[in-house]
Structure 1
């Protein structure tokens, strides 16, 4: 009997020991699974997020962009014609050129002025504008930038594709065996070369616009561009007197232009009146 209970006790101890071992293995497996899930679901995405952030907007290299800059500049100078010569010198020293230039010396009717179209290297634009502003009193300056990077890249891609096509046609022409094939290849080659030259011309023009900023420079004499409005009683009187003199001067100029026509009309009217009176007297005498 005691041996029976002893066997039973040993059996129960073995069962309990097996159960504990099973629970321990399950716990380790679960923990291992959680650990594996933590690595794949937590650490890996964090590393991925960190890898996706490579910089900020301030790190963008703007020098790789193609930009066309245009602007206008108005300056009041003591002698606009002389200032125009200085503007040409400043532009040429910066490596630029003058595309157009017109000068109007002072006369009794109009003050002196000058207008220039300057092509200034884009990397010298700021320094050149600073030099031009020293020619007199700055009235206004405006600058506009247009990003044409996509247009430039599109032209480059089309030129590359057409160049490859032309080279291929030239190779086919060299190996052509029949007259019909030769004529067909020449026709296609002529069309592709014409299109390629047109695209290259567009690209050269665009490159010139990018490399050289276009600035319209206006030089005017003192008093041509009105300064700020009068802020005192006496400055108001002076401004009013100046406006009156200017208006009377314009009226006199207009009268001088119309005077010859008025004289001619008066002479014609007098002749017509004399003829009418002469016919009236003849009728009365009859």
Structure 2
């Protein structure tokens, strides 16, 4: 037993550097990611020596860049210019072609176009275009567009995106640096688990980098090319006043005949609507009359006839004096 113990103690142990290196690499990856997301700020204090090794000059470069940006506040600001313009023209098609030539001369482009011919109902025709003109050529292009007709309105607005652009640029630089560090750790990985972890982190940071690059390209396009929404419209056709009455005998006759037919047609409609009511009211009235007459006849039959008055004779000598009962009038 002692012999075995001596042999075991005296025999050289296998180096465990690969496992230690893997753990250190994972720690460096985590610290590097935290340092990138935090912008090289408070994570450096929490990371300790590993963070200082990973970030190193990168953190100092970020600090120097921040100091330089604070000291160079007088630099030109980055702005996006948007505007709208409405012009009344004689011929919308001709003015539209002229506007396209102006944009081509300024080395711009047209991102959208919509036209309306007026529909033949007296409405005004118009053409709306979304013009993308280089920012340095915008003022000159607007001056040339003014010559197309009568300008009704012109509006331009600027949006300061300096801080947004700087944030995107800084994030892109940080992501690129982090991906480079992760790729160097990937080359030194000694286990499958470490390799898979590093690859997952690289894929995540690569997705974020592509999104930031897309935003950067969008900002660059909006800054380089100003957006001007141009509307070209024509004057609406004058409305002709309608005739107020006939101007001849035959036209008057036609108007009279038309009005008569209109009246008769309206009267027929009224009669058609009222006829069912009239029939119903007539039948109801007839029924009421018959009922009332029937009731009157029944009452007349039930009442007795009044007695006849007594017969009286008049005296011959006195026509006014009645003749006594049982006496006969004198013979003639």
Question: What TM-score bracket applies, with the shorter chain setting the length?
Answer: 0.5 to 0.7
2:196 to 153, 166, 183: 183
Q: 1:202 to 1:247 in 2, by over 3 A?
A: farther
Aligned to 2:94: 82
Contact 2:90 2:149 in 1 (8 A): yes
Q: Does residue 137 of structure 2 align to residue 124 of structure 1?
A: yes
Q: Hey, what does 2:186 align to over in structure 1? A: 173
* Distance in 1 of aligned mates of 2:87 and 2:240: 22
Q: Map 1:1-286 to 2 at 5 A.
A: 62=76, 65-106=77-118, 107-222=120-235, 284=283
Aligned to 1:43: none
CA shift for structure 1 position 275: 9.2
Residues of 2 paired with 1:195 and 1:205: CA distance?
Answer: 15
- Report if the CA contact (8 A) 1:172-1:185 is conserved: yes
Query: Which piece of structure 1 moves more, 106-115 or 151-160?
Result: 106-115
What does residue 235 of structure 1 align with? none
Runs (5+) with no aligned partner, structure 2? 1-73, 243-264, 288-332
**How many residues end up aligned between the 2 structures?**
186
- Superposed CA RMSD: 3.0
Report if aligned partners of 1:99, 1:117 keep a CA contact under 8 Å in 2.
Answer: yes
- In structure 2, do the counterparts of structure 1 residues 280 and 210 end up closer, same or farther at CA, with 3 Å as the change threshold? same
Q: Deviations over 1:69-102 (max 9, x none)?
A: 1111111110122211211121122111111111
Provide closer, same or farther for how the CA distance between residues 279 and 184 of structure 1 changes in structure 2, counting only shifts above 3 A: farther
Q: How many Å apart are 1:277 and its aligned residue? A: 5.5
Unmatched 5+ stretches in structure 1: 1-59, 225-241, 249-265
SS of structure 2 residue aligned to 1:176: coil
Distance 1:109 1:222, change over 3 A: closer
- Whole-angstrom CA distance in 2 between matches of 1:195 and 1:188: 11
- CA distance, structure 2, for counterparts of residue 128 and residue 247 of structure 1: 42
Distance in 2 separating the partners of 1:152 and 1:167: 23
Q: Does structure 2 retain, via aligned residues, the 8 Å contact 1:81–1:112?
A: no
Superposed CA deviations along residues 113-156 of structure 1, whole A, max 9, x for unmatched, are 11111000001111111111111111121111122111111110
Instruction: Give the 3 Å change call, closer, same or farther, for CA 173–98 of structure 1 in structure 2.
Output: same
Q: TM-score, normalised by structure 1?
A: 0.57
Alignment TM-score, normalising by the size of structure 2: 0.50
1:238 corresponds to which residue? none
The 1:139–1:197 alpha-carbon spacing in structure 2 relative to 1, beyond 3 Å, is same
**Bigger radius of gyration, 1 or 2?**
2
Pairwise CA distance, 1:247 = 10
DSSP-derived class of the 1:209 partner: helix
Give the aligned partner of residue 261 of structure 1: none
Structure-2 change in CA distance of 1:79 and 1:168 (3 Å): same
Which structure has more relative contact order (CA 8 Å, sep 6+)? It is 1
